[in-house]
A and B are shown apart, each in its own frame.
Chain A
Amino acid sequence: MKNWVHFRISRRFLRVWQRNVKVYQKGWKIIFLPPFLEPLFYLLAFGVGLSGLVGNLHYQGQEISYARFIAPALIAVNMMNNSFFETTYASFVRMYYQKTFDAMMATPLCLEEVITGEIVWAATKSVVATVIMTAVISCFGLIRYPEGLLLLPVSFLGGMAFSAIGMYFTGLVKNIEMFNLPVFLFVTPMFLLSGTFFPLENFPAWSRYGALLFPLTHLVNLTRDFCLGRLRLEALWSLGYLVLFFVVFFPLAVGRMRRRLIK
């Protein structure tokens, strides 16, 4: 426990963030493609293909098209993927194969700043991907404005929550293949069962409440509300849950990485 009692984070974590921004800028033409193309593929498959079978559905007393239902979920999943996969696979490569963290820790930077920089960077990546994806989906008229602008702060918060838990896993795994476990046991069930592709009201009560443990459920609730132009007080619960998720997993991630790297 004493491992993560004293935090020494200064604004220097921005130096780590800047390093990742620089690398991102160099490869932006390729990195830019997934959030641009992914919504197009999904909307084509689900919005056009599947909605013929599904038709309209009732969501919280409102009748909406299936495309309008899943578009916000795609954005939420995109936030999760961009941040979670950054602090798992990408951070692991930097830490383990490229020894980037070792080099940083021979400078005035300390471990806490390196980890914070990585996590804030992953959340930034989630924001950038959200901006691109939201722009694409807006072209189909599936997002209401100005409420839709709230997607941006939400993408940062969601990014912080998912990148913190991602970094926690990075502190745990022995090798890069082991990320399969959190992906199949954490990300995939959430992807399918967080009210993404069908309303949670269709679920039996126990699993409906179970789904509330998933951070993605709350992220989907928020993005769906904002895309549909609804501002509800209940959204505060979801915001609170994401903040809590970050507050719990951030120190856990730092503690794990400290145990892993400081010898």
Chain B
Amino acid sequence: MSVIVSARDLLKKFGDFVAVDRISFEVFRGECFGILGPNGAGKTSTIRMIYGFSPLSGGELQVFGLDVNRHGRRIRSRIGVCQQENSLDPDLTVLENLEVFARYFDIPKRAAREKALELLRFFALDARKDAQVAELSGGMMRRLVLARALINKPDLLILDEPTTGLDPQSRHQVWERLEELRANGISILLTTHYMEEASRLCDRLIIIDHGRILEEGKPQDLVRKHVGQTVIEVAEPSETIRNFLRDQDLPYEDLGHRLVIHCDEREDLYRTFTKEFCTAGCTIRMATLEDVFLKLTGRELRE
């Protein structure tokens, strides 16, 4: 598989603050690669360097085999970027947003209109093509941003938290479209802090915090490695259950009012718990990427 993004010891500093601390990773053609991390972990700083918005403070970064320091313009002509903040042009209509954007890529007028109409159909926005951007719902705006990012038929689509702030219906619609794009062979680089999104879309991902990579791999492998297959959650746990877990030498996270027990292949425990200890509530569920994420990045708030 060919490499389309290659970062080596990538460093980004803002004054004394190190936002990205010498990280290395590769994105392969045709895959969906995720960068996961809590707020302020360095996700946006990383992808801003990839599309040439931020200069590097150190390290090497190549996209399509081109050095970002020297070939920013050539790289940007082959990527589509969906920024975190809404940057749609409120002075233009839906269709005009795409057509004006196409001009920035030097796409001829007729080809631009055809591509724009095709993308509006793909994102179910064709009925609103003459609407003002301000009239659109949040989900429609995000789909329009995605459509705009695809106007130049990019080889790499960069998405910075594409579904943050969307309602579940809109989020699922965006995911379906992204899955369809991925099936058509486009490479995607995605940042998110929604674990469900990452497990569903990403082939591979890195989890970063404080500018460093904590873990790298396929979502399912990471879950298996760090948490196992099943998790039992116990609400309002008693001291007896804590003692029982310590005696059995079972790994668990103590959140005070709640215990999260990683019980790989030990579904029988659930029955023991419900029979003997659980008064307030006890649930068994599949382990998720969210368990991995919280285990690796901790539970304290990031503000």
Chain A residues proximal to chain B, CB less than 8 Å: 8, 12, 15, 18-19, 22-23, 26, 98-100, 102-110, 262-263
- The answer on a CB contact under 8 Å between B87 and A108 is no
Quick one: which of A12, A19, A102 contacts B85, CB cutoff 8 A? A102
Roughly how many angstroms separate A137 CA and B41 CA in the complex, as a whole number?
61
Question: Can you identify 8 A-B contacts, CB atoms within 8 angstroms?
Answer: A15-B104, A22-B100, A26-B91, A98-B90, A102-B53, A103-B88, A108-B105, A263-B14
Chain A interface: which of B2-10, B75-83, B114-122, B180-188? B75-83
B81 close to A106 (CB less than 8 A): yes
Residue pair A110, B85 in contact (C-beta under 8 Å): no
Additional A-B contact list (7), CB under 8 Å, known A12-B104, A26-B91: A102-B85, A103-B88, A105-B53, A108-B74, A108-B77, A262-B55, A263-B54
In the complex, chain B residues whose CB is within 8 Å of the CB of A26: 91
A22, B86: Cβ atoms under 8 Å? no
Q: Are A99 and B86 in contact (CB under 8 A)?
A: yes
With the chains together, A26 CA to B130 CA distance in Å? 13
| CB-based A-B contact count at 8 angstroms | 65
Residues of B within 8 A of A100 (CB): 87, 89
Within 8 Å by CB of B87, from A18, A98, A262, lies: A98
B55 and A15 contact, CB distance less than 8 A = no
Minimum CB distance partner of A14 in chain B: B103
Contacts of B92 in A (CB 8 A): 22-23
- Least Cβ distance of A113 to chain B in Å? 9
Residues of chain B in range 32-84 having any CB-CB distance to chain A below 8 Å: 51, 53-55, 72-74, 76-77, 81, 83
Decide: B53 and A107 in contact? CB cutoff 8 A. no
Do A103 and B77 form a contact, CB below 8 Å, given A18-B103, A108-B106?
A: no
The yes or no answer to B264 lying at the interface (CB within 8 A) is: no
Instruction: Report the separation of the CA atoms of residues A19 and B126 in the bound assembly, to the nearest whole angstrom.
Output: 22
Given A98-B90, A99-B83; A108-B54 close (CB under 8 Å): no
**A107-B83 contact given A18-B103, A23-B91, A98-B89, CB 8 Å threshold:** no
Residues from chain B with a CB closer than 8 A to the CB of A102 are 53, 83, 85, 87
In-complex Cβ contact of A107 among B76, B90, B91 (8 A):
B76
* Cβ contact within 8 Å between B55 and A107: no
Distance A23 CA – B93 CA, assembled complex (angstroms): 10
| Bound Cα distance from A81 to B152, whole angstroms | 38
Instruction: Please report the C-alpha to C-alpha distance between residue A230 and residue B276 in the assembled complex, in whole angstroms.
Output: 105
Find chain A residues with CB under 8 A from B293 CB.
Answer: none
In terms of DSSP, what is the predominant structure of the interface of chain A?
loop
Closest chain A CB from B103 CB (angstroms): 5
Q: Considering the complex, give the chain A residue whose CB is closest to the CB of B93.
A: A26
Q: Which of B55, B73, B83, B88 contacts A108 (CB 8 A)?
A: B73
**A19 x B100 contact (CB < 8 A):** yes
Who on chain B is nearest to A103 by CB?
B87
- Chain B neighbourhood of A108, CB < 8 A: 73-74, 76-77, 104-106
Q: Is the CB of B55 within 8 A of A110?
A: no
For A19, A26, A107, A262, the residue with the greatest tally of chain B CB atoms inside 10 Å of its CB is A107
Q: How far is the CA of A100 from the CA of B92 in the complex (A)?
A: 11
**Nearest-neighbor residue (CB-CB) of B89 within chain A:** A100
Is the Cβ of A110 less than 8 Å from the Cβ of B73? yes
Contacts of A109 in B (CB 8 A): 104
Complex CA gap A262/B54 in Å reads 6
Digitize B148-166: 1 where CB-to-A-CB distance is under 8 Å, 0 elsewhere.
Answer: 1000100000000000000
Q: Is A103 a contact partner of B91 (Cβ separation < 8 A)? A: no
How far, in Å, is B100 (CB) from chain A's closest CB? 5
Distance, CA A17 to CA B54, complexed state (A): 24
Least CB distance, B91 to chain A, in whole angstroms: 4
Contact present for A106 and B83 (CB under 8 Å)? yes
A145 to chain B, nearest CB (A): 37
| A-B interface, 7 closest residue pairs, ranked by CB to CB distance from nearest | A99-B87, A103-B87, A106-B81, A107-B104, A23-B91, A108-B77, A108-B73
Taking CB as reference atom, which chain B residue is nearest A263?
B54
The yes or no answer to B290 lying at the interface (CB within 8 A) is no
Partner among B72, B87, B89, B152 whose Cβ is within 8 Å of the Cβ of A110: B72
Smallest CB gap from A104: residue in B: B104
Residues of B near A104 (CB, < 8 A) are 104
Q: Mark B235-251, 1 if CB is under 8 A from A, else 0.
A: 00000000000000000
Nearest CB on A from B180, distance (A): 23
Instruction: Report the separation of the CA atoms of residues A15 and B90 in the bound assembly, to the nearest whole angstrom.
Output: 17
Question: Within the complex, which residue of A18, A19, A107 is in contact with B105, where a contact is CB–CB below 8 Å?
Answer: A107
Interface string of B10-45 (1 = CB under 8 A from A): 000010000000000000000000000000000000
Query: Which residue from chain B places its CB closest to the CB of A22 in the assembled complex?
Result: B100
Nearest Cβ on chain B to A35's Cβ, whole angstroms: 20
Bound state CA distance, A98 and B86, in angstroms? 8
A106 touches B53 (CB 8 A): yes
Q: Once the chains bind, are B76 and A106 in contact (CB under 8 Å)?
A: yes
Quick one: which of A23, A99, A107, A110 contacts B101, CB cutoff 8 A?
Answer: A107
Instruction: Give the residues in chain A near B90, CB-CB below 8 Å.
Output: 98
Is B203 on the interface with A (CB-CB < 8 A)? no
